[in-house]
Amino acid sequence: MGNIQLKKVNKSFGATQVIPGIDLTINEGEFVVFVGPSGCGKSTLLRLIAGLEDTTSGTIEIDGKDVTGEAPAKRKLAMVFQSYALYPHMSVRKNIAFPLKMAKMPQDAIDRKVDDAARVLNLTNYLERRPGQLSGGQRQRVAIGRAIVREPSAFLFDEPLSNLDAALRGNMRLEISELHHQLKTTMIYVTHDQVEAMTMADKIVVLNAGNIEQVGSPMELYHKPDNIFVAGFIGSPKMNLIAGDIAKPYGAATIGVRPEHLGISKTEGTWSGIAGVTEHLGSDTFIHVKTDKAGVITVRAPGETDIRFDDKVYLTPDAARVHKFDDRGLAIR
Amino acid sequence: MARAVSTRRTAAVTVAAWAIALLIFFPILYTIITSFKSEQEAIQGFNLIPSFTLESYFDVQSQYNYFRPFLNSVILALGSTVLALIVAVPAAWSMAFAPTRRTKDILMWMLSTKMMPAVAVLFPIYMIFRDLGLLDSRIGLTIMLMLINLPIVVWMLYTYFREIPGEILEAARMDGASLWNEIYYVLLPMAVPGIASTMLLNIILAWNEAFWTIRLTTTNAAPLTTFITSFSSPQGLFWAKLSAASTLAIAPILIMGWFSQKQLVRGLTFGAVK
Amino acid sequence: MATQQTRSLARAMLAPSVGLLLIWMAVPLALTLWFSFQQYNPLNPIRDGFVGFSNYLLFFNNPAFLWSILNTLTIVASVLAITLVGGILLALLLDQPMWGQGIVRILVISPFFVMPPVAALVWKNMIMHAQYGVISDLLRSVGLSPIDWFGRFPLLSIIIIVAWQWLPFATLILLTALQSLDGEQKEAAEMDGANFFNRFIYLTLPHLARAITVVVLIQTIFLLSVYAEILVTTNGGPGYASTNLPFLVAQKATLEFKIGQASAGGIIAVILANIVAFFAMRAVGKNLDR
């Protein structure tokens, strides 16, 4: 249950081709994250899987069955929308019960399932309230509850945490991951936030302008990006990418080294420069160094570092962690 | 943007505004006052205090059977509204939630039909009604009023439907709702305020329509517009009764109008003013 | 956002409205066009038959026709002028802080909801009546003689009645637009040294430009078809002094049974309305693009 296959899926809106042709396999029980910048097609891809949009060509199979022409309801998928899309005129109970009512389940079975879901999600005290009377996090849970009771083959999440404030987002991230471990159902999660992708995914699909740049586990993408785009997208702060003369000795058109893989010292090192803006986060310090030959490089230093603005500093990259890219932007291994 | 405004300025503004408002409202006010006078009182000259007699109201009913045109107005207003909704709700749904490249053109074309002068089709309509036996019939006039106001009803519903987040309907679809379930359980409940506003506006427009109702009815289906028009020949000595009839004719719509200012702006400016 | 299934259903749901309006527009209009090229008198059918453009020529040569066009345009222009100027001034006044604003608004918008026959009769009998009307009483009380409004100033009387009915509409629209003017903009202008008059000219008026356009266009559409007020008060007279195009056409059709001429007049009314509608649709269309 929950195995999804996309074969040469192509989506065009009129003359604009948004997704040029994608092959993708999602295995049963996986937590897959579609991540990429705005407009990369990740939401479109999700909606194609959900059945809310028609494919222009290509097939979508769920558990071996071709569902390409089927209505959303028949695909046994559940979706959690970015704005939660709760029914404002129904109580929480009726919201969660709605899909079961549409499936013509008997009322006592419905009540049981709603109560179960409410218990799992801590909503039991809010069952008679309306969405308008709930906080953002509670509404989020109602949306999830509505999805859970359907016992779908897979859950689809469309940027569910974007509307929450930072603290709440952290909590909900944990809750959703916990949910995944509990239910063991396939989950497809769309986000533009690479932190969410890294922390929650079994498998990340990085999308750019409708194309899949790379598919892999978070660590694979972190340690072995296939191209410059993925290298620059994954990891925060961004990987430093340096082209030109500095890259030539490495036999590459561009080299990349992450801020956390550079050593900084006031006395000696490979690249010299002047320290610019220094961002103190407490746990770490990020220093933007204007190097003499390599442009502006971001370095991670310990929280207690004494390096200040305008200090003369030296940077040393960790040789084993330097990424090399050819002139087409692809990784050289 | 609250700022302290001098009380003197507020007072001056208040006096000016009330004076002008009362001046504008005066004809209506005086009509209501006169309706509570007897006929002799009514022609005795300017007098703001009536004797509060109801005899004119009773006379209007007993001498002219006022109830009948009143009932006709109600039937026509409500009937054309319900008819318009039945046709317009699906149309507005279609344009709001499944728009095509032609949707805007169709909408504009619909609005343009409202701009056709009634006289241009007066005779053919009269002829068609006569041949179909619809002259002076409630059904005929209900259909007529529905057609006249259909563009506005569709337009208003369209704007209200567009304010419903599409994602909620998609959620219903994902939840397994068929199209009809989607409309019945989700769309309509959320659209109730919008539908009510549209109904209100349509009732007002239908009640006050003073061309087709006059030209296509005589006695049976004559609503208040026709009824009042029949008193236009100079006949003196019935002003109290005329005031009573007028007050009854305008009272329901006045009250509705007071509550539908926003809808009026939305409906009659075709959304161009927010 | 829609899939194939919703799309075909959507077309079916749109069909009744479009169909009804199409029939309602096309069939009668086509008939009128046909009639306009006919001589047709139901009471006297002997001379019926195709007559080409002669109905239009008759219409154009008829002094009643020329008067009716002139009066139509006069009514539209005058009422527009009165309601726009009055509407802006009233809107400005109502936008100020005052006590009892809600009730003031209700009083001001009331005339719009009075059905035209009642409005006309109330003005004719209560206010403007030469013997018993309020204005006559007022004039007499200061020693002036009463005015026979409908006898001496028939068109003006109609204009006053119609303007009274439409002033609330203009005021309401303009007031709504006025209240959407960002308060911060006004404050910024004040800090930039603009006094009330300057703020009005450079800030308020341009902001209102759109609303004014809408008021002009919507009102014109309706003002071109003023009918009941004339029917109930002057009946187009004295002579043709207060006859407008709709009234003339209706008269030709229902009283004189000159269907051919009436139809020609109807077509001319359509042309007139189309000119206005062209500009109206442009303004509305821009709004639909949002």
Question: What confidence tens digit (pLDDT) does each residue in C143-165 have?
Answer: 888 888 888 889 999 999 999 99
Q: Which helix (H) or strand (E) holds A333?
A: none
C64 vs A35, residue with greater confidence: A35
The predicted pLDDT at position B203 comes to 94
Listed in sequence order, the residues at least 6 apart from B129 whose beta carbon sits closer than 8 Å to its beta carbon are B135, B140, B216
Q: Which residue of C has its CA nearest to B271?
A: C287
Q: What is the CATH number of domain B67-230?
A: 1.10.3720.10
Chain C nearest CA to B87, separation (Å): 6
A289 and A162 within one domain? no
Whether residues A41 and A95 fall in one domain: yes
Interface test with A, best of C3, C6, C8 (most A CBs within 10 A): C3
Tell me if B96 sits within 8 A of B104, measured CB to CB: no
Directed axis angle between helix C63-94 and helix C54-61, to 10°?
70
Q: Smallest CA–CA separation between B13 and chain A, in Å? A: 40
In a domain, A332, yes or no: no
Contact status of B20 with chain C (Cβ, < 8 Å): yes
Half-sphere exposure of B101 (CA within 13 A, CB side): 2
Q: Which residue would you say has higher pLDDT here, A17 or A31?
A: A31
Q: At a CB cut-off of 8 Å and minimum separation 6, what does A126 contact?
A: A92, A118, A134, A138, A142
Is pLDDT of B73 > 50?
Answer: yes
| Mean pLDDT in residue range A265-290 | 90
Which value does ipTM take for this structure? 0.87
Residue pair A189/A34 in contact (Cβ under 8 Å)? The answer is yes
Tell me: pLDDT of C62 over 90.
no
CB C187 within 8 A of CB C193: no
**Residues A117, A62 share a domain:** yes
From A176, A205, A230, give the residue that closes a domain. Answer: A230
Query: pLDDT grade, residue C47 (50/70/90)?
Result: low
- If we measure between CA atoms, which residue out of C124, C119, C67 comes closest to residue C244? C67
A219 plus A268 within the same structural domain: no
- Closest CB to C134 among B14, B30, B166: B30
Name the residue among A73, A87, A89 with its Cβ closest to that of B176.
A73
- Look up residue C52 and give its two tokens: 């080409």
Angle at A52 between CA A34 and CA A204, to 5 degrees: 10
- Which of B128, B250, B269 is facing C118, going by the closest CB pair? B250
Looking at residue B232, its pLDDT comes to 76
Chain B interface with A: residues with Cβ < 8 Å = 165, 167-168, 170-178, 181, 185-186, 189-190
User: Does the CA dihedral B92-B96-B100-B106 come out positive or negative?
Assistant: positive
Is the domain of A168 the same as that of A213?
yes
User: What is the model's pLDDT at position C1?
Assistant: 40
How many helices (H) and strands (E) in chain A?
A: 8, 18
Flag whether pLDDT at C48 surpasses 80. Answer: no
Beta-carbon separation of B185 and A98 below 8 A: yes
Give C4 to chain A, closest Cα distance, Å. 7
Distance (Å) from the alpha carbon of B68 to chain C's nearest alpha carbon: 17
The average pLDDT across A311-331 equals 90
Sequence length of chain B is 274
| A217 and A245, same domain (yes or no) | no
Model confidence at C34: pLDDT above 60? yes
Say which DSSP state A205 is in.
E
Cβ separation C270–B215 shorter than 8 A: no
**3-state DSSP call for residue B225?**
helix
C-beta atoms of A83 and B165 within 8 A: yes
| Omega of the bond leading into C116 within 30 degrees of 0 (cis) | no
Alpha-carbon span C243 to B168, nearest angstrom: 55
**Predicted local distance difference test score (pLDDT) of residue C110:** 93
Chain A residue with Cα closest to B186: A87
Summarize pLDDT for B194-226 with one digit per residue, the tens: 899 899 999 999 999 999 999 999 888 999 999
Task: Kindly indicate the confidence band of residue B54, based on its pLDDT and cuts at 50, 70 and 90.
Answer: confident
Amino acid, single-letter form, for residue C155: L
Percent of chain B topping pLDDT 70: 95
Please name the amino acid found at residue A173.
R
Shared domain check, A205 and A88: yes
Three-state DSSP at A219 gives: helix
CB contact at 8 A, B24 and C108: yes
Beta strands A271-280 and A323-325, pairing class? unpaired
Domains and CATH numbers, chain C: 36-288 (1.10.3720.10)
pLDDT (mean) for B257-273: 77
3-state secondary structure of A256: strand
φ/ψ of B43, rounded to 5, equals -105, 15
- Does B151 score more than 60 pLDDT? yes
Residue in the block written with tokens 């471990």: A181
Closest chain A residue to B192, measured at CA = A89
Q: What is the DSSP letter of A187?
A: E
| Statement: residue A179 has pLDDT above 70 | yes
| Chain B: closest CA distance from residue C198 (Å) | 20
Whether A91 and A194 map to the same domain: the answer is yes
pLDDT at C290: 41
User: In angstroms, rounded to a whole number, what is the distance separating the alpha carbons of residues C278 and C290?
Assistant: 20
Domain residue ranges of chain B, discontinuous segments joined by +:
7-59, 67-230
Neighbours of chain B (3+ CB pairs under 8 A): A, C
Confidence class for position C39, pLDDT limits 50, 70, 90: confident
Report percent pLDDT > 70 for chain C. 93
Q: Are B167 and A82 an interchain contact pair (Cβ–Cβ within 8 Å)?
A: yes
Residue of C nearest to A13 (CA): C1
Q: How many domains does chain A divide into?
A: 2
Classify residue A331: in a domain, yes or no: no
Yes or no: say if C111 and C169 are a contact pair by the CB < 8 Å rule.
no
**Domain housing A301:** 239-325
Identify the residue whose tokens are 């006395």: A267
Residue B87 in this model has a pLDDT that exceeds 90: yes
| CA dist., res. A91 & res. A121, Å (int) | 16
Question: A52 and C1: CB-CB below 8 Å?
Answer: yes
**Mean of the pLDDT values across residues C238-249?**
90
One domain for residues A300 and A180: no
Q: Are residues A37 and A184 in the same domain?
A: yes
* Contact flag A52-C4 (C-beta cutoff 8 Å): no
Task: Please give the Cα distance from C156 to C147 (Å, whole number).
Answer: 12
Q: How confident is the model at residue B236 (pLDDT cuts 50, 70, 90)?
A: very low
Please indicate, yes or no, whether residues A77 and A191 belong to a single structural domain of this protein. Answer: yes
Contacts of C228 in chain B (CB under 8 A): 210-211, 214, 225, 229
Closest by alpha carbon to A210, among A5, A4, A7, A9? A9
Domain of A304: which CATH number? 2.40.50.140
* Distance in Å, alpha carbon of B173 to nearest chain A alpha carbon: 6
Q: Cα distance from B176 to chain C (closest Cα, Å)?
A: 14
Q: Cβ–Cβ of B20/C106 closer than 8 Å?
A: no
pLDDT of B17 reads: 93
**CB atoms closer than 10 angstroms to residue A320:** 6
Decide if C107 contacts B17 (C-beta within 8 A).
Answer: no
CB-based contacts of C103, cutoff 8 Å, min separation 6: B21
- Minimum-distance CB partner of C1 among B117, B166, B253: B166
pLDDT, residue C46, reads: 66
Q: What is the pLDDT of residue A130?
A: 92
Say if residue A35's pLDDT is above 50: yes
CB burial of B202-227 (b: ≥16 within 10 Å; e: otherwise) equals bbbbbbbbbbbbbbbbeeebbbbbbb
Residues of B in contact with C13 (CB under 8 A): 90-91, 93-94
**Could you tell me what percent of chain C has a pLDDT over 90?**
32
Is pLDDT above 80 for B110?
yes
Q: What are φ and ψ of residue A162, in 5° steps? A: -65, -30
Determine the residue among A43, A44, A54 to mutate to test chain C binding: the one whose Cβ has the most chain C Cβ atoms within 10 Å: A54
The last residue of a domain, from among A212, A230, A248: A230
Percent of chain A surpassing pLDDT 70:
100
Domain assignment present for residue A333? The answer is no
Contact B175 A88 (CB under 8 A): no
DSSP of C142-192, one letter per residue?
TTPPP--HHHH-HHHHHHHHHHHHHHHHHHHHHHHHHHTS-HHHHHHHHHT
Count of B-C CB contacts under 8 Å:
319
* Lowest mean pLDDT segment, chosen from B84-93, C5-14, C153-162: C5-14
Q: What is the mean pLDDT of chain B?
A: 87
Residue of C103, C113, C180 with shortest CB distance to B250: C113
From A230, A252, A282, the end of a domain falls on: A230
Tell me the two tokens of residue B110.
Answer: 């619909």
Surface-to-core class of residue C208, CB atoms within 10 Å of its CB (0-12 exposed, 13-18 middle, 19+ buried): buried
DSSP A149: T
Whose tokens are 């002219």? That residue is B64
Residues A219 and A256 in one domain: no
Q: How confident is the model at residue B22, as a pLDDT?
A: 94
Contact check, Cβ <8 Å, A54/C3: yes
> CA of A27, closest CA in chain C: separation in Å?
27
Residue contact B228–C225, C-beta within 8 A: no
Neighbouring chains of C at 3+ CB pairs within 8 Å? A, B
Task: State residue B3's pLDDT score.
Answer: 59
Angle between helices B7-35 and B239-259 (to 10 degrees): 140
What's the whole-model pTM score? Answer: 0.79
Q: In terms of CA atoms, which chain A residue is nearest residue C1?
A: A53
Amino acid at position B170, single letter? E
> What's the gap in Å between the CA of C213 and the closest CA on chain B?
10
Given a cut of 90, whether residue C214 has pLDDT beyond it is no
Which two tokens mark B271? 């959304």
What pairing do the DSSP bridges indicate for beta strands A271-280 and A284-291? antiparallel
- The residue in chain C having the minimum alpha-carbon distance to the alpha carbon of residue A70 is C5
When the pLDDT of each residue in chain C is averaged and rounded to a whole number, the result is 85
C-beta contacts of A299-302 below 8 A and 24+ residues apart: A299/A259, A299/A262, A299/A264, A300/A237, A300/A259, A300/A260, A300/A262, A301/A264
